[in-house]
Copies of this chain bind each other. A is one copy, B any other.
Amino acid sequence: MSPAFDKVHQLLKQLPGLGHRSAERVAMHLIVEKPERLEPLCSALREAAEKLHRCPVTGNLTEGEFCEIYADIARRKEIVCVVETVPDLMAIERSGAYRGVYHVLHGKLSPLHGVGPNDLNFMPLATRIENGEVNELILALSNDIEGEATCHYIQDELLAGRDDISISRIGFGLPSGGGIVFADAATLRNALEGRKKF
């Protein structure tokens, strides 16, 4: 339509979750409908990018030295939930079901996409384990081959010979509110394998 609009559209389409039309909608919104929202958004993004950094222990994002959850004395430091991304961590926090701390890997092992152990945030987790800070590890990684491979790597490399640390992987199965008829075959297989005595 116009080179300036097309450039915005192109850049917005690169953002995760935005397709051709949703990028078009957001562009129209910020350029024409509510241009007064443009500067506050850009300066908030810039400020956040400057202030936020990874917690050196947990990999979570923080404005302070350590992340809020790790710094919270009420959280059980010896229980560590390993997640791929910060939004995963936020989702678990929203569930309100967890009182331990976290470790964020910032990805999962994926030889196909060239992601090896050195590309992920394993080191601080290895240090916590070596220092005897951990006695339970909960793996909350994706239910796919790459999540599986990452779980095995942690078990084989980081926990080798450490029988004092219990390790578990979160349960897979039917989502809450999900009817059998809507579940795909892989989910149903997981749900059947993960069945519990009733």
A residues with a Cβ closer than 8 A to B are: 1-5, 7-8, 11-12, 14-18, 21-22, 24-32, 35, 37-42, 44-49, 51-52, 60-63, 68, 85-87, 90-91
Contacts and interface: CB of A to CB of B under 8 A. Distances in A.
Contacts of A25: 16-17, 87
Nearest to A26: B15
Dominant secondary structure at the A interface? helix
Contact of A5 (B40, B46, B52): B52
Of A32, A47, A87, the most chain B CB neighbours within 10 A belong to A32
Contact of A31 (B2, B8, B12, B52): B52
Given A12-B41, A41-B11, A86 B28 contact: yes
A16 B45 contact: no
